[in-house]
Structure 1
Amino acid sequence: MQNLIKRILGITVIVVLIVLAFKYCQFKKEDDSDMEYNTNLIQQQILNVGKLVVTEGHFSEVVTYKNQQKYFLDMLSFEKKALIVVNADVTVAYDLHQMKYDIDEKNKTITILNIPKEEIKINPDIKFYDVEQSKLNPFTGDDYNKINKSVKANLAKKIENSSLKKNAQNRLISELSKILILTNSMGWTLQYNGKTIESEKEFTEDLKL
């Protein structure tokens, strides 16, 4: 009788251990499945964010170009000049496909490693008016190169002092905040520049906008 009871107890213990082991494996499988789902969802969101964020602007300016060639100990000179009207389309863009990040599944942390710098493209349309020149001092390719270089330099200064870059940076923050919203909603942590990001304001401060 005692042997029968021992056998029954032994079988019961084995059954209980098998059930517990099965439950543990099932729980582990569900946990791994959830983790994989969350990771894939985050990667998909980052892929959706990873696009070219573009802000466009238009600038105009009028430039007077003059150049003088002197001969015979400066006794004789030949001048050329022109009124130049510049209309330029400017784009400021962030290619977020170049953004680098790391996903730590174990600690549920996304770390943004690098945010690309803005790309500024200036496409000027330059037109000449009131052109005055002589055969001894005509307009040449060198003049056009100098004018083009000077125009782009002046436009670059205007862009720095305008709201164009700031608007582009605001759009960048808006795109990055989509990642922040997703990570917060899923209980993950977003880090950048060695800090945990919890708001758009912290993004702005860390990007020094």
Structure 2
Amino acid sequence: MRLLLLQQANGIDLNMEKFYLNVPYGEKDIAKNKGARWDPDKKKWYVPEGNNSLTFIKWVPELTPDNNYNLYSENYFIAESMRRCWKCSENISLYAFYLPAGYKYLDIFGVEDDWEDEVPNVWNDTCEGMEMYDKATNSVWRWSEQPCTSSASYVVKISDQALQKIQKFSSSYLFGYSRLSRTVTMRTIVRTATDCRAIL
């Protein structure tokens, strides 16, 4: 899972920064007609609170093909749970990202020739989400909205802002390599009073 998390939400401070977009000058009227608003101080377009950011997917600067994210959320929670360390038996705190209902996920799937009539590399608003036909790979990219809350697991990439936030709670939350699955994922190295350095 490649996870783009933009703003932390908690029960204390909900004064979050606006969800800014990267709208080229030639597309400003399209963005405005979809509901985007102009911030004269930052000189950027943004998604007003209450509007679904899925409509503006093509202008989310972090969601370029180079970044390769397959899930994003405008808000997230950092959840804490307690468990006994398997190595030293001390009680330890574990932290994870928890995503509210409405987070977005990317599904990429191959298609048959019946998509040939679609205009390639253009995002279209459909009943299932935002779709783009990629003619080069004969596949469709579909961003959809998840109606349920969920924790994030098997994270292999995360936005720098979100990583810095969770490291305030657990400085040992970092990338690790799983020999079992042969993948790089976010791991927690346990630091207890005995500093057992168990990997979770």
TM (normalized to structure 1)? 0.27
1 or 2, which has the higher helix percentage? 1
TM (normalized to structure 2)? 0.28
1 or 2, which has the higher strand percentage? 2
